Copies of this chain bind each other. A is one copy, B any other.
Amino acid sequence: MKLTADHARALEDILRWRRDMRHFRPDPLSEDHMERLRAAMDMAPSVGNARPWRVIRVRDTGLRARVRAEFERCNAAAAAEYDNETRANYARLKLAGLDVAPEHLAIFTETEPPEGRGLGRRTMPQTLQQSTAMAIYTLWLTARVDNLGVGMVSILDPQRIERIFDAPASWSFTAYLCIGLPAFEDDTPLLHRAGWQENTPTRWEER
């Protein structure tokens, strides 16, 4: 299957206009949209084809409230480590769309999957975590072509999240995703708008 210059141009648009979103509209997403996102993960690469990602679609308001409280706890602890001006910036980042995004996904990695028969992860078990990260990115890019926003929340304590979801002992918490329609169109990345961190280019060293 030969891909073309049209594919290359489309991919560049998709990569360039992907954003980590924090500001959502509350409108519910269609089940068709959610099914497209679910199916996208099936196309992600994984070590030994193990597909170790485990996904909980979180609809229960009690569970959402517990995640939100955990985020607030970790966010307060993180903000206390910065000086005042930085802290103000930090607060302005409004790091979570947890309150508004209509869809929440809690994503874990099965660290002992029967699939894949251990191939490629004997010396590097972290390849399972890498596979889940790539599956998340696959969902993210698919959301982007559907003009949906995704926000990846990592200001959480993994072990507490595992307890909140009563996760099996072999599951490791990977990320919490908020998904919804973007609240506004502003193509400047949020961390740039807030003056947090400009881009540094990827340099390749040669040896």
B207 x A56 contact (CB < 8 A): yes
B residues less than 8 Å from A6 (CB atoms): 6, 10
The listed residue (B90, B133, B205) touching A133 by CB distance below 8 A is B133
- 28 A–B pairs (Cβ distance < 8 Å), ordered by A: A1-B17, A7-B14, A11-B141, A15-B141, A18-B43, A38-B204, A41-B202, A45-B152, A50-B197, A55-B202, A56-B204, A57-B204, A59-B206, A63-B207, A77-B122, A78-B118, A78-B119, A81-B118, A90-B119, A119-B191, A119-B196, A121-B154, A123-B156, A129-B129, A130-B136, A130-B174, A134-B137, A135-B202
In the assembled complex, A3 has its CB within 8 A of some CB on chain B? yes
Contact B13 A7 (CB under 8 A): yes
Across the interface, A146 reaches (CB within 8 A) one of B8, B15, B38, B118, namely: B8
Roughly how many angstroms separate A203 CA and B122 CA in the complex, as a whole number? 25
Residues of B within 8 A of A189 (CB): 49
**Given A115-B197, A117-B86, A204-B56, residue A187 in contact with residue B1 (CB < 8 A):** yes
Interface residues of A (CB under 8 A from B): 1-3, 6-8, 10-11, 13-18, 20, 38-45, 47-51, 53-60, 63, 74, 77-78, 81-82, 86, 90, 93, 95, 105, 115-124, 126-127, 129-130, 133-138, 140-142, 144-147, 152, 154-158, 165, 174-175, 185, 187, 189, 191-192, 196-207
Q: How far is the CB of A67 from chain B (nearest CB, A)?
A: 11
CA gap between A90 and B122 in the complex, in Å: 14
Which chain B residues border A57 with CB–CB below 8 Å?
A: 204-207
Q: Which residues of B contact A86 (CB under 8 A)?
A: 117
Within the complex, the shortest CB–CB distance from A7 to chain B, in Å, comes to: 5
